[in-house]
């Protein structure tokens, strides 16, 4: 579905991403891990075309991303960015409905179908009681769920999520990962999720990618990537590895 | 959607009522239904073109304000405060000084001045970290004061008898209204309403953030060119006909948003109607408050707009 082939991204003279490759196919959930400044958000922006690649190419459904119109790209790839604040009063439902932009024409008013899609997204993100609330009256975590709901409302099958659980409580962190996982399994979605929570990544993702200093450090399953040596090298911390008694997936414990 | 339709009907009825009141009231009492010869001349040659021009100028300025606010993500963006009106005023003056009465020179030069001022403010306000409220307002102040000083230089070269006329005109004055000015601003206002409303859904996303808009399929560069270009046409034609009527683009979209929310598909076209009503009524006050003398309509709009600006700035 979405492929990055040896891409490099530069800000001025600095290489912020060097020769990174990534392949995303239907049903797969990839977790992007790494310390602050490793190039995770840059990679996500390059995958979506927000940042131009200096070398290499991003290919979406067999076509170079750069050749697609913004609307075509937006119908296939949805982004949950680290949040934006608006100075204008917008209700939650209107905000989610704005995710339908790429499906409508000029002057486009939402059709019944658009409203149904948006309402499903609102319900999936546990926001039914918030539909008429104003965005600037919500807490950070609530807003983050609304932003995810809008991404789902685009009906794009590829989700790029930049720290979607950063402001969320435990229950909603799990809810978001379960939701994305469920869409991948049941509806053929594919997702790239940036997160700092190694355990959530191990629990839910099919593939984990460690980025370090703008390059790809390791990629593979949780068992392959989450080694004490890798984590010590990338994050500079010592950890203990174990298995989750609940699910059996890799469990990382920080040693303070 | 029903509620929005009612509000549209209300605005249309309100505009009709405002036009009727404005035509029937004036420093000279004239019977609208059976005017004598002098009354007919006052109505047809002076009052009606003035009232109609006022409506189009109000619509144009409110449209420009509403769309610039969404594009720049700033509820304080307004053609007058951003220096766009002064750019148009300088263009008009230059056309007058350099080209005299060449047909069409003033609106064209006004458009050019508005466009250059818009681009200048936009470039000054942009930074790597984005564009915040303060930076944009400050850039507007700098461009406005710079252009004002050039305008003062130019007007001081004009002879004293014309000076009063220009001082009035610079503050926004509809007393020189002509049918030609009305036709031109009407064409701009109608085109602006259609074109900017067609971009309203994209503006809804731009209002949240440029990256958001990009992610959702908005061709940002194209929307920016359309809004900046159309706003410059709207402000250019208005200023060429009536000088810089300030704060209309601030007050009107703000009130419309209070009533219908932030959806630009409603805010943009409704601002056009509400702006027309607002300027027609403000000009009626300007004509009658100290009759037989007149105030420039811009003085009335500024009296209302400046306190509102302070209120909005404090809240943001």
d(CA A182, CA B63) in angstroms, rounded, equals 45
- Residue to substitute from B135, B207, B217, B260, interface A, most A β-carbons within 10 A: B217
DSSP string, A176-192: HHHHHHHHHHHH--EEE
**B74 interaction partners in chain A (CB closer than 8 Å):** 87
Burial of A101 (0-12, 13-18, 19+ CB in 10 A): buried
Size of interface A-B (CB pairs under 8 A): 82
Domain limits for position B48? 2-315
Residues on chain B bordering chain A, Cβ-to-Cβ distance under 8 angstroms: 1, 70, 73-75, 133, 197-202, 204-205, 207-209, 211-212, 214-219, 257, 261-263, 265, 316
Q: b or e along A134-153 (b: 16 or more beta carbons within 10 Å of the residue's beta carbon)?
A: bbeebeeebbbbbbbbbbbb
Write out pLDDT tens, residues B65-123.
Answer: 999 999 988 888 889 888 899 999 999 888 888 887 777 888 999 999 999 999 999 88
DSSP, collapsed to helix, strand or coil, labels residue A133 as coil
What is the predicted ipTM? 0.85
Q: Are B246 and B259 in contact (CB under 8 A)?
A: no
From first to last of its 256 residues, chain A has per-residue pLDDT tens of 899 999 999 988 888 999 999 999 999 999 999 999 899 999 999 999 988 899 999 999 999 998 999 999 999 999 998 766 677 888 899 899 999 999 876 567 888 899 999 999 999 998 989 989 998 888 888 888 899 999 999 999 999 999 988 888 898 899 999 999 999 999 999 999 999 999 999 999 999 999 999 999 999 999 999 999 999 999 999 999 999 999 989 999 988 8
* End-to-end Cα separation, chain A, in angstroms: 41
**B204 interaction partners in chain A (CB closer than 8 Å):** 94, 98, 101
* Residues β-bridged to residue A208: A31, A220
Strand order across the beta sheet in which A55-60 lies = A14-24, A2-11, A55-60, A63-64
Per DSSP, helices labelled H in chain A are 40-48, 70-76, 92-97, 112-124, 140-153, 170-187, 198-204, 222-225, 228-235
Contact B75 A108 (CB under 8 A): no
DSSP, collapsed to helix, strand or coil, labels residue B29 as coil
The beta strands (E) that lie in A205-245 are given as: 207-212, 215-220, 239-243
Domain count, chain B: 1
Contact A106 B198 (CB under 8 A): yes
| Among candidate residues A88, A85, A98, A95, the one with its CA nearest the CA of residue B253 | A88
CATH number at residue B33: 1.10.3470.10
Question: Which domains are present in chain A?
Answer: 2-254 (3.40.50.300)
């Amino acid at each position: 579905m979405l492929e990055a082939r040896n891409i490099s991204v530069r800000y001025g003279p600095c290489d912020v991403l060097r020769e990174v490759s990534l392949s995303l196919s239907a049903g797969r959930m990839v977790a992007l891990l790494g310390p602050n400044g490793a190039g995770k958000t840059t990679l996500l922006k390059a995958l979506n075309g927000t940042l131009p690649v200096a070398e290499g190419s991003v290919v979406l459904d067999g076509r170079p991303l750069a050749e697609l119109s913004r609307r075509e790209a937006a119908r296939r790839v949805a982004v949950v960015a680290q949040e934006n604040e608006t100075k204008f009063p917008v209700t939650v439902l209107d905000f989610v409905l704005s995710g339908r932009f790429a499906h409508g024409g000029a002057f486009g008013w939402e059709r019944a179908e658009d409203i149904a899609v948006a309402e499903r997204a609102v319900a999936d993100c546990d926001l039914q009681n918030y539909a008429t609330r104003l965005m600037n009256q919500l807490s950070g975590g609530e807003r983050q769920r609304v932003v995810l709901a809008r991404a789902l409302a685009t009906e794009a099958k590829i989700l790029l999520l930049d720290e979607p659980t950063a402001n969320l409580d435990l229950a909603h962190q799990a809810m978001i990962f379960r939701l994305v996982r469920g869409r991948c399994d049941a509806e053929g979605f594919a997702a790239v999720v940036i997160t700092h929570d190694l355990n959530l990544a191990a629990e839910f993702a099919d593939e984990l990618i460690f980025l370090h200093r703008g390059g790809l450090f390791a990629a593979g399953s949780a068992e392959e990537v989450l080694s004490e040596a890798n984590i010590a090298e990338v994050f500079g911390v010592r950890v203990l590895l174990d298995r989750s008694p609940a699910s059996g997936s890799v469990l990382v414990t920080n040693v303070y | 959607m029903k509620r929005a339709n009612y509000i549209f009907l209300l605005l249309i009825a309100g505009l009709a009522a405002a036009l009727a009141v404005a035509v029937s009231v004036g420093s000279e009492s004239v019977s609208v239904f059976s005017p004598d010869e002098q009354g007919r001349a006052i109505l047809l040659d002076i009052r009606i073109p003035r009232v109609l021009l006022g409506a189009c100028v109000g619509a144009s300025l409110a449209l420009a304000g509403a769309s610039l606010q969404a594009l720049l993500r700033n509820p304080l963006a307004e053609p007058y405060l951003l220096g766009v009106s002064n750019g148009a005023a300088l263009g008009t003056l230059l056309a007058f000084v350099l080209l005299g009465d060449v047909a069409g020179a003033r609106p064209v030069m006004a458009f050019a001045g508005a466009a250059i001022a818009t681009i200048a403010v936009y470039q000054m306000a942009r930074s790597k970290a984005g564009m915040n409220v303060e930076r944009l307002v400050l850039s507007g102040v700098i461009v406005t004061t710079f252009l004002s000083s050039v305008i003062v230089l130019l007007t001081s070269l004009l002879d004293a008898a014309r000076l009063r006329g220009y001082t009035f005109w610079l503050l926004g004055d509809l007393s020189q209204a002509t049918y030609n000015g009305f036709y031109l601003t009407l064409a701009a206002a109608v085109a602006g309403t259609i074109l900017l409303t067609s971009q309203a859904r994209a503006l809804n996303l731009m209002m949240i953030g440029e990256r958001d808009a990009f992610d959702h399929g908005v061709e940002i560069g194209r929307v920016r060119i359309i809004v900046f270009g159309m706003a410059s046409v709207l402000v250019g034609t208005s200023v060429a006909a009536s000088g810089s009527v300030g704060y209309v683009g601030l007050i009107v979209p703000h009130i419309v948003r209070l009533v219908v929310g932030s959806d630009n598909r409603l805010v943009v076209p409704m601002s056009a109607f509400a702006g027309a009503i607002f300027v027609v009524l403000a000009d009626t006050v300007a004509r009658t408050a100290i009759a037989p003398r007149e105030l420039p309509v811009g003085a009335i709009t500024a009296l209302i707009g400046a306190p509102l600006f302070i209120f909005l700035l404090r809240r943001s």
